[in-house]
Amino acid sequence: MELNRCTVQQPTTTIYRLHMFLHSLIMLALVYYRLSHLLYLENVLTLQAFAWVLITLGEVCFIVKWFFGQGTRWRPVVRDVFPDNITYQDSQLPAIDVMVFTANPKKEPIVDVMNTVISAMALDYPTDKLAVYLSDDAGCPLSLYAMVEACSFAKLWLPFCRKYGIKTRCPKAFFSPLGEDDRVLKNDDFVAEMREIKLKYEEFQQNVNRAGESGKIKDDVVPDRAPVIKIINDRKIEKEKSDNDLMEIPMLVYVSRERRTQRRHHFKGGSANALLRVSGIISNAPYLLVLDCDFFCHDPTSARKAMCFHLDPKLSPSLAYVQFPQVFYNVSKSDIYDVKIRQAYKTIWHGMDGIQGPVLSGTGYFLKRKALYTSPGLKDEFLGSPEKHFGSSRKFIASLEEDNGYIKQEKVISEDIIEEAKTLASCAYEDGTQWGEEIGYSYNCHLESTFSGYLLHCKGWTSTYLYPDRPSFLGCAPVDMQGFSSQLTKWVAALTQAGLSRFNPLTYGMKSRIRTIQCLCYAYLMYFSLYSWGMVLHASIPSISLLLGIQVYPEVYDPWFLVYVIAFISTILENMSESIPEGGSVKVWWMEYRALMMMGVSSIWLGGVKAIIEKIIGTQGEKLYLSDKAIDEEKLKKYEKGKFDFQGIGMLAVPLITLSLLNLVGFMVGANQVIITMRFENVLGQLLISSFFVFVVVSVVIDVVSFLKDS
């Protein structure tokens, strides 16, 4: 019986390939037009020639970005899974270590973090094959206290979920509209128990909040600290207390690695590698589920669905990870910031899945632990000189050996193991090793997951993508311009830095075991800032040329003008084809397109500029923006009404307002010229470009100016 099925999307794939062929002819024609006319200019030192060169560069940016993007449209696939066909008994299923990451209790509310932890503990998977770790990179004492409280509540919550077959196993979600289906059509016993559970949940919340508000327990980041490892729930102890399977809960471990202000800590990548080592000597599950603290488990069967790929003998030998989409529960109908990033999760990831697999997306993925240590098909690749690569811990090196695997807990975890775990979580442990280079998550990019996934593909590993009807994981999206723009700037800067490094897909990737079309997909992501340079040039040069009386587009009666019109229509249709069929509409497409244009001349562009500057001065920066997961109710109301919130937007507003005003003035001057001369054929192209930009973003700019004026 098949565990999974892969289906090539048809007729979508055929249409995509036909469009690639036709659109590439148009792009080649535009390049020929620009270069041939540039050569015929009498004087290349004039403003006319300079404007022509700049607009040509802008078009080349669009063309190159489009070319890279065709890799994601070459062979899009969709996958289905059949968990009921898994023939393994529960006792035979491979173990899973769940890793939840948090870094700042002020931006990531502790009660919400605990909801994610509890939802992970409640996965529909054998309890003795599940261990849940919280990596607290803030070292916050309140988080440790909250873990103990969460464990106490979980001892009531998990049996309740199992008894009544609850699907929404995050308590916060269950008691919200998200859990409405699980709360209806139940008997009186269920209602009575649910009321009791709700009271216990409220008590749990109050205990955590009061502990923080009272000041008895510190609720802030501890920047300079020793490592802390606490076993909150020991499976062996719980097993001795009760033989009732409904009452069992998984192992629960709190980990706070050592942090010293004078040492580099490598952000989430360093935290993830420390947790890899610690979990390696405590449970050492062959598979990992990685979650950001704001992404809770929404489908308890997600682990079994992932195993439909990992247990498939045809896929498993080279399969590194199974990626699930990032879906957000607080997205409004209008989604004015395009926080869903539908192009990525509905188009690009499916396209990459048809080649070598999707990008490792930071959260919601089931990863083979071994993949972070070696290449597919190789056994014990680095065990010839283990200390050089993995460090001096004998217990950890022993955990890597082929015959060891998962540590079945036969006895209570000893103090010796805890002390060894603290050594593995210390700052000095990685000194002189290959952690962050050849071993574990890479330190060569701030987007440690995405870049590590790219390196896994370079080693020859593959990945798969599953987009189930019921979201397996739900997260919290930014609901204001500052939050999403800052996050996007961080992503673009990190990806551009990777594209400018020695690991770029055009040289390093092409020489590795990654497939050529997969290289194009990664080039599309790492050089996405090309789009912003094309946008900035097209949002400035045509308007400036109107002001100076310079012509940069063919006249209306010139056949080349028709080529530009066809190119524009073809581009819009391609964009719409990726949005509307995937559950969208013309309105949704318009909102996404407007957001892309806005971000293209602001956060995406600034992210690209930041990466180039840091490359020139030789640094990747030591500060990393962490998005605020605490939702402001006023901002949420604005977002749900489709109103932009520009509080804290700062420098991001400058290019947006400047280019909008420039296009507005350029359009007015050009229109005035047409009225006076009664001739439009030589400036219509520039007028259309300026008017289109103004039309797309004018309402947003008015909101920005109004906000700044009120501020």
DSSP, residue by residue, 41-105: -S-TTSHHHHHHHHHHHHHHHHHHHHHHHGGGGSS-EEEEE-GGG----GGGSPPEEEEEEE--T
Reduce the DSSP state of residue 252 to 3 states and report it. Answer: strand
- The helix or strand, by DSSP H or E, that contains position 464, with its residue range, turns out to be strand 462-465
- C-alpha to C-alpha distances, 333 to 95, 336, 580, nearest whole angstrom: 39, 9, 14
Q: Return d(Cα 172, Cα 152) in angstroms, integer.
A: 16
User: Among 522, 539, 514, which residue's Cα sits nearest to residue 658?
Assistant: 539
Q: Return d(Cα 322, Cα 309) in angstroms, integer.
A: 7
292 is in an annotated binding site: yes
Residue 441 makes CB contacts below 8 A (sequence gap 6+) with 268, 269, 272, 273, 276, 372, 448, 449, 452
- The helix or strand, by DSSP H or E, that contains position 5, with its residue range, turns out to be strand 4-8
Q: What is the dihedral of CA 364, 369, 370, 376, to 10 degrees?
A: -10
137 is in an annotated binding site: yes
Asked about 449 being catalytic, the answer comes back as: yes
Q: Return d(Cα 449, Cα 363) in angstroms, integer.
A: 8
b/e sequence 346-377, b meaning 16+ C-beta within 10 Å = bbbbbbbbbbbbbbbbbbbbbbbbbbbbbebe
Q: Return d(Cα 514, Cα 505) in angstroms, integer.
A: 9
198 is in an annotated binding site: no
User: Among 531, 376, 385, which residue's Cα sits nearest to residue 457?
Assistant: 376
Sheet holding 296-297, edge to edge: 296-297, 473-475, 327-328
Sheet holding 251-256, edge to edge: 228-233, 251-256, 130-136, 96-102, 287-292, 365-368, 319-323, 462-465
Asked about 36 being catalytic, the answer comes back as: no
Q: Which of 97, 124, 128, 137 is catalytic?
A: 137
What is residue 618's DSSP assignment? T
Q: Give the residue carrying structure tokens 């992210």.
A: 607
Three-state SS string over 631-675 comes to CCHHHHHHHHCCCCCCCCCHHHHHHHHHHHHHHHHHHHHHHHHHH
What is residue 413's DSSP assignment? P
DSSP, residue by residue, 503-570: T-IIIIIHHTTS-HHHHHHHHHHHTTHHHHHHHHHHTTHHHHHHHHT---S--TTSHHHHHHHHHHHH
Q: Which of 256, 449, 540, 690 is catalytic?
A: 449
107 is in an annotated binding site: yes
CB neighbours (10 Å) of residue 496?
A: 26
- Binding-site positions for Mn(2+) read 268, 292
User: Active-site residue numbers?
Assistant: 137, 449
Q: What residue numbers does the annotated binding site for UDP-alpha-D-glucose cover?
A: 107-108, 137
| Residues making up the binding site | 107-108, 137, 268, 292
